[in-house]
Amino acid sequence: MSKRPTTSHRLTVPKTYKLAIGGAFPRSESGRTYEVLSAKGMFLANAAKASRKDARDAVVAARAAVKGWSGATAYNRGQVLYRVAEVLEGRRAQFVDEIVAQEGVTAAVAGAQVDAAIDLWVWYAGWCDKYAQVAGNANPVAGPYFNISVPEPTGVVAIIAPQDTALLGVVSVVAPALVSGNAVVVVASERHPLSAISLAEVLATSDVPGGVVNVLTGSPAEIAPWLASHADVNALDLTGAGELEWVDLQIAAADTLTRVLAPVPSTAAAGASVERITAFVETKTVWHPKSML
């Protein structure tokens, strides 16, 4: 009879970092992986290398999730997003360890990044039931009518996350897109993808409906062109596409009238900004006759 291993002799359970699509965590349909290395070149993990098919599956999942997420009340979306921050706080130590391993920074620096990411997430959660008052308005018209402009979500937003940070970068681009009710397909940092998948695990246990956030890991240069030209993608956030030929991506997006947000430095994206929320809304104008009574 074999003996149970003692705690001092137990083997660690290496984590398998997969994709996050439609609320599930599949491997790439291509079966490809790539090595994630530490700042010193040491092996950390194998990450899934997403393919064109994976990107298409993620867009399908996002499209299916838009109706339910955008149809939720603004207050409800805010409560769900705040729950994400609560779970992030509870798993703070894990994210600190991952960032230390990936970026080669001290625990204090990694902790500051995690804290900044959580604070930024809370800030955006608070805007769910407030941004409409800023982005919408009642318009003066010459006639007995009410004319009201109301912001609505764009739909499916494909995002290239900043490539130089493990957690803060992906939070800075995903959180604002969710505020108004968009669903997201985000391509994580190729060098530092582990925290993005751990964030997807947080989302999956935080009442965020499956498919609202889909995370792909691998090569942005390979995946971005397929997302830019996809007819069911409504907006393209190229914040982290600084090293790519983003003008070509913009041209590809133009064929399907996809809205494009140009690349910006990751430090700029990491700042709290209402403009990052309104970048992915459409304005609907409603006319209504005034009562003549």
* Residue 5 predicted with pLDDT over 70: no
Give the bridge partners for 285, in sequence order.
Answer: 149
Tokens of 31: 């079966």
| Distances from the Cα of 134 to the Cα of 56, 121, 148, 151, 273, angstroms | 34, 19, 13, 9, 12
From the list 276, 225, 220, the residue with the least C-alpha distance to 251 is 225
- Model confidence over 195-224: pLDDT tens digits? 999 999 999 999 999 999 999 999 999 999
- Residue type, position 293, single letter: L
Look at residue 112 and give its three-state secondary structure: helix
* Residue 189 predicted with pLDDT over 80: yes
pLDDT (0 to 100) of residue 7: 57
Look at residue 139 and give its three-state secondary structure: strand
Stretch 240-262: mean pLDDT: 90
Q: What is the mean pLDDT of the chain?
A: 92
- Model confidence over 44-89: pLDDT tens digits? 999 999 999 999 999 999 999 999 999 999 999 999 999 999 999 9
Continuous segment of H or E residues that includes residue 201: helix 194-204
pLDDT (0 to 100) of residue 140: 80
Domains annotated on the chain, with CATH: 17-289 (3.40.605.10)
Question: What pTM, to 2 d.p., does this model score?
Answer: 0.92
Residue 225 burial (CB < 10 Å; 0-12/13-18/19+)?
A: middle
**Which residues, 6+ apart, have CB-to-CB distance to 293 below 8 Å?**
none
Q: Confidence class of residue 136 from pLDDT cuts 50, 70 and 90?
A: confident
Q: Confidence class of residue 6 from pLDDT cuts 50, 70 and 90?
A: low
- Model confidence over 274-285: pLDDT tens digits? 999 999 999 888
- The percent of residues in the chain predicted with pLDDT above 90, rounded, is 79
Tokens of 91: 């798993």
